[in-house]
């Protein structure tokens, strides 16, 4: 079987099971099996696929057909133009979270201290560490997630400190608190895509019955940690902008909602009053 035939066969299998982007997925999985990029596949489409290449490719296709996300199969996901390593201990970074990074960079100044709460793969913290001269600290309740984030920081050359803990309980002072917290209501579990529900870590997905439980805790404790004029920047779940914004009291000013490319409010920015 040639590489071109393998791509066609894999694409057909994925199409029949209604897997999103079947051709692209087949290309990524075959490239991963052969340790080659997509350009190489097209340049060598007439070459015979090796037996070991076919074995790995078939296994990856089988995993994807059973619902395992492509990123967990390859162990990679791009974020802000950089490749991050991921595994089932962390959420797969989404493009929408890049809006959170942009919101932080807009108010960040050299020497400031940023705390990334629930850092997961480290996508936000590592990116901020590479894009700024700030002191970046990342925290997560999951030791496994912190290991992934630490490895990403080391591999990409970012200066980030890591602390295991529950939200911001371990902190006393910061200029910016940023978080993409768990915000899926437990009652919505059955409605999630199987790729999310069955493979991504539940501790990073589910917040409680309403979805705003973690937001409530962060907003309540943030004034203790933030310096006067400091910022709280949160990624927002669908239908949650108004409930989360409603939890902010009089101690906050310059409250803004930043939409994503689809026009959906995605990021909340609030400044602590002096």
Concatenated DSSP letters of 17-52: TT-SSHHHHHHHHHHHHHT--HHHHHHTTTSBPPHH
Four-residue CA torsion sign, 101, 106, 109, 115: negative
- Span 167-196, mean pLDDT? 95
Give the model confidence (pLDDT) of 6-55 as tens digits: 999 999 999 999 999 999 999 999 999 999 998 999 999 999 999 999 99
Query: What ranges do the domains of the chain cover?
Result: 3-66, 89-272
Please list, in sequence order, all residues whose beta carbon lies within 8 angstroms of the beta carbon of residue 143, skipping any fewer than 6 positions away: 164
- Span 127-148, mean pLDDT? 97
Give the model confidence (pLDDT) of 46-96 as tens digits: 999 999 999 999 999 999 999 999 999 999 999 999 999 999 999 999 999
Q: Is 72 left (phi over 0), alpha (psi -120 to 50) or beta?
A: alpha
Report the run of H or E that residue 21 belongs to, with start and end: none
Where residue 269 falls among pLDDT bands split at 50, 70, 90?
A: very high
- Computed over every residue of the chain, the mean pLDDT equals 96
Please list, in sequence order, all residues whose beta carbon lies within 8 angstroms of the beta carbon of residue 128, skipping any fewer than 6 positions away: 101, 104, 105, 108, 114, 116, 134, 136, 178
Instruction: Match domain 89-272 to its CATH number in 3.40.50.150, 3.20.20.70, 3.90.1200.10, 3.30.1360.30.
Output: 3.40.50.150
pLDDT for the residue numbered 87:
97
pTM: 0.93
Q: State the DSSP code for 113.
A: E
Where residue 249 falls among pLDDT bands split at 50, 70, 90?
A: confident
Q: State the DSSP code for 204.
A: G
Please list, in sequence order, all residues whose beta carbon lies within 8 angstroms of the beta carbon of residue 203, skipping any fewer than 6 positions away: 141, 142, 182
**Spatial separation of the C-alpha atoms in residues 108 and 128, rounded to whole Å:** 9
* 238 pLDDT higher than 90: no
Where residue 274 falls among pLDDT bands split at 50, 70, 90?
A: confident
Q: Which residues on adjacent β-strands are paired with residue 77? A: 84
């Amino acid at each position: 079987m040639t590489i071109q035939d393998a791509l066609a066969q894999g694409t057909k299998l994925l199409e029949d099971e209604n897997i999103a982007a079947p051709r692209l997925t087949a290309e990524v999985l075959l490239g991963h099996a052969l340790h080659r990029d997509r350009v190489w596949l097209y340049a060598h489409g007439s070459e015979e696929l090796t037996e070991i290449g076919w074995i790995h490719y078939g296994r990856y296709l089988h995993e994807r057909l059973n619902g395992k996300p492509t990123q967990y199969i390859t162990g990679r996901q791009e974020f802000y133009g950089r490749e991050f390593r991921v595994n089932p201990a962390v959420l797969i970074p989404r493009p929408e979270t890049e809006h959170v990074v942009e919101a932080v960079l807009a108010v960040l100044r050299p020497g400031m201290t940023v705390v990334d709460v629930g850092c997961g793969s480290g996508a936000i913290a590592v990116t901020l560490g590479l894009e700024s001269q700030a002191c970046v600290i990342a925290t997560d309740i999951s030791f496994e997630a912190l290991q992934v984030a630490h490895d990403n920081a080391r591999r990409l050359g970012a200066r980030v400190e890591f602390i295991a803990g529950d939200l911001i309980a371990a902190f006393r002072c910061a200029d910016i608190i940023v978080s993409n917290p768990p915000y899926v209501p437990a009652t919505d579990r059955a409605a999630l895509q199987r790729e999310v529900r069955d493979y991504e870590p539940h501790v990073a997905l589910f917040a409680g019955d309403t979805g705003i439980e973690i937001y409530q805790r962060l907003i309540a404790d943030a004034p203790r940690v933030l310096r006067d004029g400091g910022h709280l920047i949160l990624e927002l779940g669908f239908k949650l902008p108004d409930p989360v914004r409603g939890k902010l009291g009089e101690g906050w000013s310059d409250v803004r909602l930043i939409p994503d490319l689809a026009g959906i409010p995605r990021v909340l920015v609030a400044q602590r009053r002096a």
